[in-house]
Amino acid sequence: MIRSKTALRRAASSAPDWLPLTTPPHKALLEENRKLHERLRLEIMITSLSTHFINIPADRIDAGILYAMRVLGKWAETDRMSILQFEADGDSLERTHAWSVKDLELAPLPRRVDLRRLPWLRERMRGLHAVHLPNIAALPPEAAAEHKAWEAWGTRSMLAVPLVYRGNARGYLILETVRGEKTWSKIHVSTLRVAGEFLINATERKKTDQERKLMEERVLHDALHDALTGLPNRVFFLERVGRALERAARLPGEFCAVLLLDLDRFRRINDIMGQARGNLLLVELAQRFARQLPVGATLARLGGDEFGFLLEDVGGLDPATALAERLLKEMGEPLNVEGQEIYASGSIGIALGTDAYKTPGEILRDADTALDRAKGSGKGGHTVFDTSMHAKAVHLLRLETDLRKAMERREFFLHYQPIVDLKNRRLMGFEALVRWKQPSKPEMVSPVDFIPVAEETGLIVPLGKWVVEEAARQLRQWQDRFRGEPLLTMSVNISGKQFENGRLAEEIRQACADAGILPSTLKLEITESALMGNPEAAAVVLQELRASGFQLSLDDFGTGYSSLSYLHRFPFNTLKIDRSFVTRLEAGNKEDEIVRVINAMAGTLGMDVVAEGIESPSQLGHLLRHGVGFGQGYYFSRPLDVQSADRTLRAPETLWSGMAKTA
């Protein structure tokens, strides 16, 4: 159908006034549709890339960046694209990622770019400007160095868009053409700026995931190794001994041997020379001992001046006694510590690992018995454990008998150590600690002596049950007398043996019900060693306790070989940083960094952190700086009897007067 000129004029006169009169209406609409289509395509691309980086796992970030560069490169119609990130000096750029179209045959681009050799470009990049060069050949004379470099790289057009992370320049996204010249639009620049944020955020996340994995590995390594000598520690050694005993039990005629070496008069050396030189002496001896080890043997520092040696797959005692003699001879040679010549000596106890041993603790116990005999026989010798060494067993039997009588006579009582809110300076609760005083003896029996015996004999089960009941009863009295928000809490320690009786959760629930306290105000502290015997059974009990409303704390965190895994396997609410880290806290040292990482990890997992063993204002300051929430230690108070704890509850501000009051 052919329209008349009159009809065409009418149609033109009815068109919107924003269309040029020289543009036919259908062409303007087509152009508008094209622009809308391009804008929609652009938004879809940006949204897709953003979602891509949100969901991508850390180990796939590099692949994700290359995918994004390929998408952006095709959209921007460029031949190659690079991410260059500033190095520490601010004048060098490292090419961390690169993409190019297929079949682009050019010399490889340099890994690093020194901006000091490219002053014209350096001036623009330091101002965070986008640099757009549609024609490299048209560069001004002052950019001669840049012209020469790009010409060598085959570049004909270039666009550099700054990569900004949290307001700071991290590098540049570089687009280059080599097959022809290219002019990029403002839309390209603005879009690439947005896309660059995704790319640089992804690279920063990768770096963070790597400052985290390395730190986790370091925490795990430090949990297994002695900080002074770098040798395996007691936990590592016990684990290796346990494996060696299992292997020896499976292979008739093959044994393992454990040697314990203790230095003579080391405390006196420390007193005379100072702890710093004493530590240097230990390091030097550790290196000498390592040189005497046969292949496959393990050397560990078990604590203080005690070293452990493990020989595996031996046919008898001869290799162990031969090693002992070499070690004693090595100690007979003078040691040079900061120019001072020192002679050291030591004693060695040896135990042969047979199928009679069921746990690593048993063979270490007998090696320790032999060590005591070696010390008693004269300095600088070694003794092999045999069945005639029953003195310690007799002592343990006597202590066990006394323990049973103490249970009947109610000779046990509790002391309470305050736990405080470090930031808000509030008394939050107490940790209940069992004590034993025999009427016939002037001093209390140390928990270090009777707790292991109670564990070994199983008496820890009724003793632990009494501790929970008494602590819950006392907590109810204090909650009634000292009301406040939040409610006062009580922490009690649970041993590994208690997990084995099958009625732990029921007994603790009953203790709370009898005392009339909320389960959430009773905190149960479990050491990693208590879980190691039977982790699966322990997990069931812990889940039951957590479901009942009890708070669960992982005690002595950082000293075990698998603490990190326990954070995921068991439902803990709280981590207690072991006192060994707190007592060595100094600004910027290893312990300081470990405490920071532990607190950050706990925060990520939604867990509270309690620091044990706080003894000085300096330690408290470091803990506060890292955001540690709670703490306990002699800086605030020693464990208190009931009357002293009452006085503290009436005047909790006295906890902040420092060590002077507890000296």
| CA distances in angstroms from 52 to 188, 270, 406, 417, 518, listed in the order given | 20, 60, 67, 52, 47
Kindly state the tokens that stand for 136: 């490299």
Taken as a whole, the chain contains a residue count of: 663
In this model, does residue 4 exceed pLDDT 60?
A: no
Query: Is residue 341 within 8 Å of residue 335, measured between CB atoms?
Result: yes
Query: Is residue 555 within 8 Å of residue 584, measured between CB atoms?
Result: no
pLDDT in tens, 636-656: 999 999 999 999 999 999 998
Q: Which residue has the higher pLDDT, 495 or 338?
A: 495
Query: Is residue 190 within 8 Å of residue 168, measured between CB atoms?
Result: no
Distance of CA 320 to the CA centre of its chain: 37
Instruction: Write down the pLDDT at residue 594.
Output: 86
What's the burial of 632, exposed, middle or buried (CB within 10 Å: 0-12/13-18/19+)?
Answer: buried
Long-range contacts, 402-410 (Cβ 8 Å, 24+):
402/438, 403/450, 403/453, 403/454, 403/457, 403/459, 404/459, 406/436, 406/438, 407/459, 407/462, 407/463, 407/466
Q: Which residue has the higher pLDDT, 63 or 488?
A: 488
Query: Is residue 349 within 8 Å of residue 373, measured between CB atoms?
Result: yes
Q: Which of 210-224, 234-248, 286-300 has the lowest mean pLDDT?
A: 210-224
In which region does residue 45 sit, left (phi positive, over 0), alpha (psi from -120 to 50) or beta (all else)?
alpha
Residue with tokens 């570089």: 174
Which of 344, 353, 319 minimizes the C-alpha distance to 244?
Answer: 353
Which of 64, 55, 102 minimizes the C-alpha distance to 83?
Answer: 64
Mean pLDDT throughout 93-116?
85
**64/60 Cα distance (integer angstroms):** 6
Q: What percent of the chain has pLDDT over 70?
A: 90
Instruction: Write down the pLDDT at residue 336.
Output: 81
| pLDDT-based confidence at residue 43 (cuts at 50, 70, 90) | confident
**284/341 Cα distance (integer angstroms):** 12
pLDDT in tens, 429-467: 999 999 999 888 888 998 988 998 898 788 999 999 999
Pairing of strands 489-494, 426-436: parallel
In this model, does residue 292 exceed pLDDT 60?
A: yes
Verdict on whether the full-model pTM lies above 0.75: no
Instruction: Write down the pLDDT at residue 25.
Output: 62
Cis amide prior to 486 (ω within 30 degrees): yes
Beta bridge partners of 555: 527
Q: Which of 116-130, 402-416, 474-488 has the lowest mean pLDDT?
A: 116-130
Helices (H), 225-352: 234-250, 266-273, 275-291, 318-332
How many Cα neighbours within 13 Å face the side chain of 631? 32
DSSP state of 109: P
Average pLDDT, the chain: 85
**654/473 Cα distance (integer angstroms):** 25
Q: Which residue has the higher pLDDT, 41 or 521?
A: 521
Q: Which residue has the higher pLDDT, 565 or 208?
A: 208
**79/101 Cα distance (integer angstroms):** 6
Q: Which residues contact 39 (CB under 8 A, 6 or more apart)?
A: none
Mean pLDDT throughout 242-270?
87
Residue 293, classed as helix, strand or coil, is coil
DSSP state of 640: B
